[in-house]
């Protein structure tokens, strides 16, 4: 069916109604740019293969809608379409489209109980966030899950201004192609000439060359290049800036994955914004998951790391379904559910908190020290530093394997391969004599000098397993490898990694060059962690200046990198200081 909006545009909407007419049913809605296929009255999605089957059993009316300008809906599509807090008359945004859709549904669908819930993962999570700002009185519960939030600071396509080309290029080569008329047929993406991503992006070279491969028809790709700094264009597309508009009577539950390679940032920061600016009932759930893994059948492990139970199934039955049942059906009681339900890896245990970060969180500094050590005390050396040469012609890979698509597992990957490179600094603590739990934002506070005018800084927080480590029931092995085994003794588990584009160290709006060989501070946040370093493990920090091809290469010359040419790329000598006067440190959110 086609649901009319206030400006006359009609949005294609699929509705799946229960046969039971003896009672009124709640509406659960998903708004998506990815198609609500299959199309046709005799076609059904395979709901039975996912956790949506729980809602079918509960008698929900399921609604899926193609957003404006996508697939079978009319209108013009706009990526991360800005919220308009002052719209009037027939002016629209995604909040008003949601409002109009809900209004039509509750008036026209038989046997609905006038209570609506909306959820969505990733880009549909953005539309769920926009729904929470619609303020429709029938909208009782919204769950933005891994919501696309800030595409400049930390989600999908940029982190701290650094371009995540490996996510952006294959996605927009298909998704971004223009759609003149409603259609049920998607567009093919770029056909890679080789299946080795490192080789492809290195040989392509500059972002100008990558743009030439993309072509001239994809509007948002050109927008990315046209806005290299954090400007008003980006700010208008960031829902965080409009969080005060969330409906007071709409309960929200933000869901995300600790190891979500795409939108880990958005889940943490959208929750934080709703807490600071909203007045509604708001909660957060974070599990040990890759992007969307919580909606799958298996949440027991990621790559080589095991979590001790099926965390996805537990979440679906104990958190998500009770949330919607309570708000949309008046069924059950979730009033005692904690503000924050967070899975701590390392100890493999769900914990509940009445606030996030937890009240017992203390920021504790761990310092880089001589001898590649980490110390809990500030160094007293006079002129100590460690250095490496960052060469754009030989960037540090983000993972050891050869592959084409960006992996889902790199965020827990073994980092021993990186420890062996001369252009990666590795600092390690003594063996821990007691468990140490981290819950909150990690902060990198580096004192550095570089021989050029720009550079990137990648900081990785790593859990080093004991030499004798093995999972119960195995012989130092983890599953899901081509051979069925992986040596877990002395494993270097990536807990959190993040990149900072150096020219934004003082301002994301106004980048500035480094003065060669002058000591400067580079301080930035890594997205929140929830991890317990167990007794007998070590804390490791790695620092490098490339993370390829995940992140585009910094030429290490102060230029607009989207316009850089091959001759702009140069080696840089990077010094990281750990002396008494210039003490580089990592600030850890330790739970006391």
What pLDDT is attached to residue 22?
92
3: left (phi over 0), alpha (psi -120 to 50) or beta: beta
Number of H helices, E strands in the chain: 12, 25
Name the CA dihedral angle for 389, 206, 514, 221, rounded to a multiple of 10 degrees: -140
Closest CA to 543 of 407, 411, 446, 467: 446
**What's the angle, vertex CA 311, arms to CA 310 and CA 316, rounded to 5?**
105
DSSP letters, 387-423, are: EEEE-TTSPPBSSSS--SSPPSSGGG-B-HHHHTSTT
Q: What is the structure's pLDDT at 344?
A: 98
CB atoms within 10 A of CB 15: 17
For tokens 């580096």, name the residue.
Answer: 446
How far is Cα 588 from Cα 334, in angstroms, rounded to an integer? 32
Q: Three-state SS for 255?
A: strand
- Backbone torsions φ then ψ of 518, nearest 5 degrees: -95, 135
What is the spatial distance between Cα 464 and Cα 494, in angstroms, rounded to a whole number?
9
Contacts of 503 (CB under 8 A, 6+ apart): 161, 454, 511, 512, 513, 514, 558
pLDDT at position 523, please?
A: 98
DSSP β-bridge partners for residue 426:
542
Q: What's the pLDDT score for residue 484?
A: 59
Task: For residue 445, list its beta bridge partners.
Answer: 523, 585
* Distance from C-alpha of 442 to C-alpha of 429, rounded to nearest angstrom: 17
Residues across the chain? 592
The pLDDT of residue 49 is 87
Give me the DSSP letters along 446-506: EEEEESSS--EEEEEEEEE--TT---TTSSS--S-STTS----TT-EEEEEEEEEEGGGSS
| Cα–Cα distance for residue pair 101/265, rounded to 1 Å | 29
Kindly report the number of other CB atoms within 10 A of residue 282's CB atom. Answer: 22
Q: How much is the pLDDT for 473?
A: 60
Q: What is the pLDDT of residue 485?
A: 80
211 Ramachandran zone, left/alpha/beta (phi>0; psi -120 to 50)? alpha
DSSP β-ladder status, 349-353 and 340-344: antiparallel
Residue 42 pLDDT = 87
CB 415 within 8 Å of CB 361: no
Residues 6+ apart with CB under 8 A from 3: 10, 11, 13, 65, 100, 101, 104, 105
- In the chain, the domains with their CATH numbers are 2-150+238-353 (3.40.50.1820), 158-233 (1.10.3020.10), 361-591 (2.60.120.260)
Identify the helix (H) or strand (E) that includes residue 312.
helix 311-315
Query: Residue 385 CB: number of other CB atoms within 10 A?
Result: 19
Residue 26 CA, distance from chain mean position: 30
3-state helix, strand, coil in the chain (%, to 5): 25, 30, 50
CB 550 within 8 A of CB 556: no
d(CA 158, CA 149): 11
Whole-structure pTM value:
0.96
The answer to whether residues 354 and 338 touch, using CB atoms and an 8 Å cutoff, is yes
- The label of the residue with tokens 């972002």 reads 207
337: β partners: none
Cα 449-452-458 angle, rounded to 5 deg:
60
Ranges under pLDDT 50 in the chain: 475-480, 482-483
As a whole number of angstroms, the distance between CA 397 and CA 393 comes to 12
């Amino acid at each position: 069916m086609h649901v009319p909006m206030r400006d006359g545009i009609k949005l294609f909407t699929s509705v799946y109604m229960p046969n039971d007419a003896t009672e009124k049913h709640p509406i659960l809605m998903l708004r998506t740019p990815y198609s609500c296929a299959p199309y046709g009255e005799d076609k059904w999605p395979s709901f039975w293969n996912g956790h949506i089957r729980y809602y079918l059993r509960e008698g929900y009316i399921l609604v899926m809608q193609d957003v404006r300008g996508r697939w079978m809906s009319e209108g013009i599509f706009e990526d991360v379409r800005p919220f308009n807090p002052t719209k009037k008359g027939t002016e629209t945004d995604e909040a008003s489209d949601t409002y109009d859709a809900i209004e039509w549904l509750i008036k026209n669908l038989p046997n609905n109980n006038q209570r609506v819930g909306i959820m969505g993962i990733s880009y549909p999570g953005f539309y769920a966030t926009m729904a929470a700002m619609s303020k429709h009185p029938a909208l009782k519960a919204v769950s933005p899950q891994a919501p696309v939030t800030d595409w400049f600071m930390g989600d999908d396509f940029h982190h701290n201004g650094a371009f995540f080309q490996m996510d952006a290029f294959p996605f927009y080569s298909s998704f971004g192609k223009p759609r003149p008329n409603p259609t049920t047929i998607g567009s093919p993406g770029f056909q890679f000439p080789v299946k080795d991503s490192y080789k492809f992006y290195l040989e392509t070279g500059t972002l100008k060359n990558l743009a030439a491969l993309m072509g001239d028809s994809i509007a948002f790709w050109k927008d990315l290049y046209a806005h290299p700094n954090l400007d008003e264009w980006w700010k208008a597309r960031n829902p965080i800036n409009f969080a005060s508009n969330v409906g007071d009577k709409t309960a929200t539950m933000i869901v995300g994955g600790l190891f979500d390679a795409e939108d880990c940032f958005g889940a943490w920061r959208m929750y934080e914004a709703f807490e600071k600016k909203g007045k509604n009932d708001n909660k957060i759930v974070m599990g040990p998951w890759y992007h969307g893994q919580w909606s799958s059948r298996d949440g027991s492990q990621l790559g080589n790391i095991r979590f001790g139970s099926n965390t996805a199934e537990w979440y679906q039955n104990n958190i998500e379904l009770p949330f919607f049942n309570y708000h949309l059906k008046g069924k059950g009681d979730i009033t005692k559910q904690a503000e924050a339900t967070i899975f701590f890896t390392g100890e493999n245990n769900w914990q509940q908190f009445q606030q996030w970060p937890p009240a017992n969180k203390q920021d504790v500094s761990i310092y880089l020290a001589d001898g590649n050590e980490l110390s809990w005390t500030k160094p007293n050396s006079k002129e100590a530093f460690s250095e490496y040469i960052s060469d754009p012609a030989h960037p540090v890979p983000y993972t050891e394997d050869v592959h084409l698509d960006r992996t889902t597992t790199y965020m827990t990957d073994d980092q021993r391969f990186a420890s062996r490179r001369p252009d990666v600094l590795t600092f390690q603590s003594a063996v821990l004599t007691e468990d140490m739990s981290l819950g909150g934002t990690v902060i990198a506070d580096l004192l550095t000098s570089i021989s050029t005018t720009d550079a990137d800084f990648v900081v990785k927080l790593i859990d080093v397993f004991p030499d004798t480590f093995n999972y119960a029931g195995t012989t130092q092995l983890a599953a899901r490898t081509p051979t069925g085994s992986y040596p877990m003794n002395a494993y270097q588990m990536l807990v959190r990694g993040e990149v900072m584009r150096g020219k934004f160290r003082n301002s994301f709006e106004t980048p500035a060059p480094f003065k060669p060989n002058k000591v400067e501070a580079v301080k930035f946040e890594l997205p929140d962690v929830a991890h317990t370093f167990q007794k007998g493990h070590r804390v490791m920090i790695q620092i490098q200046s490339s993370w390829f091809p995940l992140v585009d290469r910094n030429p290490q010359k102060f230029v607009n990198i989207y316009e850089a040419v091959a001759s702009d790329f140069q080696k840089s000598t990077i010094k990281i200081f750990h002396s008494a006067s210039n003490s580089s440190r990592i600030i850890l959110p330790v739970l006391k």
